[in-house]
Amino acid sequence: MDKVLITGANGHLGFHIVSELVRRGYRVRASVRDAQNAKKTARLKELGVEIVYADLLDRPSLVKAMQECDGLFQVAAGYKMHTADMMKDVWRPAMEGTENALRAAHAAGIKKVIYTSSVAAVGVSRDGVVKDEQHWNDEAQEFYAQCKNDAEKLAWKLAQELSLNLVTVLPGTIIGPGFYEHTPSTYIFEKIARNKIPLLLETGFSYVDVRDLAVAHVAAYENSAAAGRYIVTSETVPASRVYTIAHAAFNGIKIPTQRVPKIMIPLLPAMDWLENRLTGSLRLMTRGSVREYLSGGQQLLNTTKAARDLAWAPRPIEDSIRDTLQWIYEN
């Protein structure tokens, strides 16, 4: 079997890709930024994989980590809605990290690269048009979405320049069990589980279970005919249905009876900032995300290419939401 490197192997998606590769018999090398951190490497050690240091902003470390590898799963990224330094924490890992990883792959003679992008690089629909892999989010309003869009475009530019065999996977909002710390995508379910959301914000996101997403990544690697971009996500689920599913699974979860008044929506980023300052909670809302997702846009996404080329099909969204909440309660 091929020997493959997974960057960001201790993250939610990275760990599940590692697990799927181990299950299929690959020789797996897992890279983390702090290979000596027992908390970040404990689960990887249980899988018996080789653990190495690599940092997206340290190209020599990436070249070293890729030595003698056949394939690369470029998963590591800075996934944050807001920090004190978004350029350092999000833009640099996205842009410099992409260039460093792909140039390192070229230097190491990597045969195939599977690159994790995001449906944020496709964007929401404001005219009812269902978006597919031909669409790009060049007018993104949210900083994170801008970074994902520009980083994937850079990846394709470099792939052409360096003659790399590149396939990109564009997941929706990643949920599911098996994370050791929250992402913005899972943290909202922490708040749902603890009944910390008093008012219903009626928006909708396209979710994908991390276990199904890992399978799609490996399928893209194994299918020699796989090419281009692949939107990999499940259905778009309104917030009210998320609550209905959550309540059906755990009747202690209360469904908000009141909606956020429209007049309050522009104030949500400030309220989110205040909650972060007072409690240390993750930032989930910015002015950019309000413009991106709460100004009449919808996530309408076509996944037929992944279904056709990768034989990919997601599990029921009810299972993913239930298992996400169960993991939160147990951990």
Which 3 state secondary structure label does DSSP give 234? coil
pLDDT digits (tens, 9 = 90+) for 194-208: 999 999 998 899 999
Confirm if 288 and 269 have CB atoms less than 8 A apart: no
CA neighbor of 145 nearest in space, from 111, 170, 166, 108: 170
Confirm if 199 and 285 have CB atoms less than 8 A apart: no
Q: CB burial class (10 A; 0-12, 13-18, 19+) of residue 324?
A: buried
pLDDT digits (tens, 9 = 90+) for 208-217: 999 999 999 9
**Section 123-139 average pLDDT:** 94
Beta strands, E only, the chain: 3-6, 27-32, 50-53, 71-74, 112-116, 166-171, 173-175, 204-209, 228-232, 236-238
Q: Which residues are 4's β-sheet partners? A: 28, 71
CA neighbor of 80 nearest in space, from 91, 64, 69: 91
For residues 270 and 209, give the distance between their C-alpha atoms in angstroms, rounded to a whole number: 30
Confirm if 184 and 90 have CB atoms less than 8 A apart: no
pLDDT digits (tens, 9 = 90+) for 163-196: 999 999 999 999 999 999 999 999 999 999 999 9
Total-model pTM: 0.96
Q: Enumerate long-range contacts of 35-41, CB under 8 Å, 24 or more apart.
A: 39/180, 40/10, 40/180, 41/10
Q: How many CB atoms lie within 10 A of CB 261?
A: 9
3-176+208-234+300-316: what fold? Rossmann fold (3.40.50)
- What is the domain partition of the chain in residue ranges? 3-176+208-234+300-316
pLDDT digits (tens, 9 = 90+) for 38-96: 888 999 999 999 999 999 999 999 999 999 999 999 999 999 999 999 999 999 999 99
Confirm if 243 and 258 have CB atoms less than 8 A apart: no
Alpha carbons within 13 angstroms on the beta-carbon side of residue 47 total 26
**Section 119-139 average pLDDT:** 95
Token reading at 79 = 């996934």
CA distances from 129 to 70, 136, 294, 298, 301 (A): 39, 13, 17, 9, 9
